[in-house]
Amino acid sequence: MSIATLRPWRSIAVYCGSSVGNSPVYGEAARELGRVLAERGLGLVYGGGSIGLMGVVAQAVLDGGGTVHGVITEALHRKEVGNANITSLEVVETMHERKARMADLADGSVILPGGFGTLDEFMETVTWNQLGVHAKPCGVLNIASFYDPLLEFIDHAVDHGFIAARYADSLLVNEDPKALLDAMRTLTLPTGITVMTGRDR
């Protein structure tokens, strides 16, 4: 059984680094994604930071006339990385609250290059699809093949019986933000399960 994701399409959560990385291609990709979100009237939900790729994508959405809602923890806000120039900034106590709030506000999620925190936040949204907590499309903007090793690991986990193929296949991948968002909008997600069995492979 499947459930269609032709839900209201109003905002996208973007998970990305608090660094801009070692290549200008990452910042360019973040700006392009922000421009596309604004052009399509999709609000940005993100971690509320003013630095790194987070700041780049937020500024691009604002420059395009779009709306940006940030969710940041009190601790990070005190370190002055909170972006005071966005449409709205929500301050929460814990990272758990931050992740849950971002997932609640968004109709889908996209990951740009980033590190441990980026992976943690995005993969939680992917896992919640598998568990049936929500049904929201998740997309990997695979700039300059940045996430190829992660995608290879996912295939490896499928081969070894730890990830069901249908969940791996529902993780959309593209290097073009327009194509990625189009695919996310029309994706049909498998219904969530809590335990993987041999039949799920």
Interval 71-98: pLDDT, tens: 999 998 887 588 889 999 999 999 999 9
The per-residue pLDDT for 80 is 58
pLDDT value at 150 more than 60: yes
- For 9-178, CATH number out of 3.20.20.70, 3.40.50.450, 3.30.70.260, 3.40.1190.20 equals 3.40.50.450
Residue 158 has pLDDT above 70, yes or no: yes
**Both structure tokens of 118:** 């980026």
Q: How many CB atoms lie within 10 A of CB 44?
A: 27
Q: Is the pLDDT of residue 161 over 60?
A: yes
Q: What is the mean pLDDT of residues 51-76?
A: 96
Average pLDDT, the chain: 90
pLDDT at site 189: 83
Distance (Å) of CA 125 to CA 20, 52, 55, 104, 137: 23, 22, 21, 10, 9
Question: Domain boundaries in the chain?
Answer: 9-178
pLDDT digits (tens, 9 = 90+) for 106-136: 999 999 999 999 999 999 999 999 998 999 9
pTM of the model: 0.90
pLDDT over threshold 70, residue 23 = yes
| Average of per-residue pLDDT across 48-67 | 96
- Strand bridging mode 188-190 / 171-174: unpaired
**Per-residue confidence (pLDDT) for residue 195, from 0 to 100:** 41
H or E stretch at 183: helix 177-186
| Residue 120, number of CB atoms within 10 A of its CB | 13
Give the Å distances, CA to CA, from 141 to 40, 82, 111, 138, 184: 17, 24, 6, 10, 12
What is the spatial distance between Cα 105 and Cα 10, in angstroms, rounded to a whole number? 9
